[in-house]
Amino acid sequence: MIHPPRLKKGDTIGVIAPAGPPDRTRLQKAISFFLNMGLCVQLGKHIDKRNGYLAGTDSERLEDLQDMITNPAIKAIVFARGGYGCARITPYIDFACIKKQPKIFWGYSDITYLHTAIRQRTGLITFHGPMLASDIGNDDFDYLSARMFEQLFQPTTYTYTEEISPLHVIAEGNANGELVGGNLSLLVSSLGTPFEIDTTNRLLLLEDIGEEPYRIDSMLNQLKLAGKLETAAGIILGDFADAKPKVTPSLPLDKVFDDYFRKLDIPVISGFKIGHCMPHIAIPLGVEACLSSYDKKLIAKPGVQ
């Protein structure tokens, strides 16, 4: 795996919207957050564009991403928001340039598609963490979530225990492996494409928002039938926000999880505050990590060098 270089004060980060259009007020508030960290911020030239539910045309969003990738002055690319649209531009990304000039990529939700493609095409470690207009620019953005950015300035071993949130063991075990995954619906959408998620001997993170239990059931079943669950070394269940059923009767979400994970011979733990939630704990993807049900702990190696 390739570790991106760490940030230092005075560095410039690039901010773009490769999927949905960001709210400008929240975006501007979030920019102040990075300026207060001693960083400079450069916005993509098309970040204010609108094309229905997309932040500009595919060519405009791709151009902003490519500009940030090729610009040696940009040390990190922090995405403004998710939504939908990354998969439309992923086949045209210059992965060779990313590998030649590695830098930090930070985001989540629809950015899961980019995380998976970049890691599997280049070996670069990326970061699953809060974004500008989705999180940082909101009034409820908290101190713990803000501290997650410290790992970009100093190589830091990542440790998640019940000091952060209650954790629930679904299946017992200890496992080591490369930490991968992200948004469940995006991982499912990668199946059958050149960017299909590889879970073999890896610790798989899953999270989502706004999906009813039957929809989560359907997506987990698709991962199961595609052989992505039983080949994993362990499974980390992050936050599943707004997962309440809109119609009854319905299976409760914990019953859905039990159906798919209880009998797996690997550690499976739920309750991680990772995803569309607050606090929003950021983690590096692609690093070696350890998941233990006995200690109720996730430990991951540093993401930067």
Residues 164 and 281 in one domain: yes
Question: Which neighbouring-strand residues pair with 303?
Answer: none
Which two three-digit tokens encode residue 63? 């151009």
Residues 147 and 175 in one domain: no
Q: Say what the pLDDT of residue 248 is.
A: 84
Residues 173 and 39 in one domain: no
Q: Tell me if 1 is assigned to some domain.
A: no
pLDDT digits (tens, 9 = 90+) for 128-171: 999 999 999 999 999 999 999 999 999 999 999 999 999 999 99
Which two three-digit tokens encode residue 141? 């953005």
pLDDT digits (tens, 9 = 90+) for 72-91: 999 999 999 999 999 999 99
- 3-state secondary structure (DSSP) of residue 212: coil
Residues 125 and 197 in one domain: no
- Percent over 90 (pLDDT), the chain: 99
Q: Tell me if 289 is assigned to some domain.
A: yes
Residue 299 above 90 pLDDT?
A: yes
pLDDT band at 281 (very low <50, low <70, confident <90, very high): very high
Residues 163 and 266 in one domain: yes
Closest CA to 3 of 110, 138, 128, 127: 127
The structure tokens 């798989």 sit at 204
Q: How many domains does the chain have?
A: 2
Give the DSSP letter of residue 75. Answer: E
Residue 284 belongs to a domain with what CATH number? 3.50.30.60
Q: Tell me if 231 is assigned to some domain.
A: yes
Least confident span in 166-170, 191-195, 205-209, 243-247: 243-247
Domain boundary residue among 129, 152, 175? 152
Closest CA to 180 of 261, 107, 289: 289
In 10 A of CB 301, how many CB atoms?
18
Give the DSSP letter of residue 39. Answer: -
Cβ pair 119, 285 in contact under 8 A: yes
What is the C-alpha separation between 205 and 271, in angstroms, rounded?
12
Residue 83 belongs to a domain with what CATH number? 3.40.50.10740
What is the C-alpha separation between 216 and 184, in angstroms, rounded?
8
pLDDT band at 52 (very low <50, low <70, confident <90, very high): very high
What is the C-alpha separation between 275 and 24, in angstroms, rounded?
22
Residues 243 and 278 in one domain: yes
Question: H or E element: which one contains 34?
Answer: helix 24-36
pLDDT band at 54 (very low <50, low <70, confident <90, very high): very high
Closest CA to 229 of 187, 189, 195: 187
Q: Tell me if 82 is assigned to some domain.
A: yes
Which among 276, 280, 292, 293 is annotated as catalytic? Answer: 276
Residue 276 is a catalytic residue? yes
Which among 145, 207, 211, 270 is annotated as catalytic? Answer: 207
Section 93-97 average pLDDT: 98
Which among 3, 46, 60, 109 is annotated as catalytic? Answer: 109
Main-chain dihedrals φ then ψ at residue 198, nearest 5 degrees: -105, 115
Q: What domain range is 257 assigned to?
A: 158-300
Residue 109 is a catalytic residue? yes
| Mean per-residue pLDDT over the chain, rounded | 97
Residues 146 and 130 in one domain: yes
Domain boundary residue among 152, 184, 199? 152
Cis upstream peptide for 249 (omega within 30°): yes
Residue 207 is a catalytic residue? yes
Residues 147 and 172 in one domain: no
